Structure formats: structure tokens, C-alpha cells
């Protein structure tokens, strides 16, 4: 987690070496449906409302396991691979954490 920026970066296996220290590696990058505003991101039972979805979030997640999650509640996507969410507090992501996205 990049705490100062309220962001979390996910990457599938094989993250570039220069990014690996800043990413959480995920095992499953399966996307079973659209990711859209109004959906929810759930990390270890902490729910966050999806407020904006970058143009390549679904594609990057499916192909690379890579997205940036911004906990800023913005309703406009800042970058194509960023998922913006709002909720109470920041998650404490650790090995074995469960990250889910619901429509």
C-alpha cells in the first residue's frame, strides 16, 4: 500500500522488478463480469463502493492481474488502469488477503 497516496497496486505473477516492491501479487486474475461504478470492492470483508473505473481496468486485470486501486472516492478516473473507490478506512492487506470485485 502506498499510504501517502491512499493507493494499492495489484499485479499478477511476474510484476516488473522495478514495481515488485510496491505491488501486492495476486494469484487469480479471472474477471467474470464487468467492473462498473456502483459495484463493490471487498478486501477481507471491508467493502468499498466503486466510484470510477479506468478504461483498461478490466483488460489489465484479466491479462496482467494489474490495477491500481485509489481510495480517494473520485468520480472521474485519473488513469486508464485505476479503480477509484470510497469507504471507511484503508484495508490492512497481507499475505492471504481476499480481494473481490462485485458488480
State residue 25's pLDDT score: 87
Q: How do 46-53 and 40-43 pair as beta strands?
A: antiparallel
Number of domains, the chain: 1
What is the model's pTM?
0.91
The tens digit of pLDDT for each residue in 45-87 reads: 999 999 999 999 999 999 999 999 999 999 999 899 999 999 9
pLDDT exceeds 70 at position 29? no
CA nearest neighbour of 7 among 97, 74, 96, 102: 74
Q: Which domain holds residue 18?
A: 3-102
Q: In this predicted structure, what is the pLDDT of residue 103?
A: 83
Task: Give the confidence band of 38 by pLDDT, cuts at 50, 70, 90.
Answer: very high
The least confident of 4-13, 25-34, 41-50, 94-103 is 25-34
Which CATH number fits the domain that encloses residue 53? 2.40.33.40
Q: Output the pLDDT for position 3.
A: 64
Based on the number of CB atoms within 10 Å of its own CB, is 64 exposed (0-12), middle (13-18) or buried (19 or more)? middle
Amino acid at each position: 500500500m502506498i499510504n501517502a497516496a491512499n493507493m494499492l497496486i495489484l499485479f499478477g505473477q511476474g510484476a516488473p522488478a522495478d514495481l515488485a516492491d510496491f505491488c501486492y501479487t495476486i494469484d487469480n486474475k479471472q474477471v467474470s463480469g464487468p467492473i462498473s461504478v456502483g459495484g463493490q470492492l471487498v478486501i477481507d470483508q471491508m467493502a468499498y463502493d466503486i466510484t470510477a473505473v479506468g478504461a483498461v481496468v478490466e483488460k489489465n486485470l484479466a491479462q496482467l492481474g494489474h490495477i491500481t486501486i485509489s481510495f480517494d472516492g473520485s468520480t472521474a478516473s485519473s488513469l486508464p488502469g485505476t479503480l477509484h473507490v470510497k469507504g471507511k478506512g484503508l484495508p490492512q492487506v497481507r499475505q492471504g488477503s481476499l480481494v473481490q470485485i462485485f458488480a
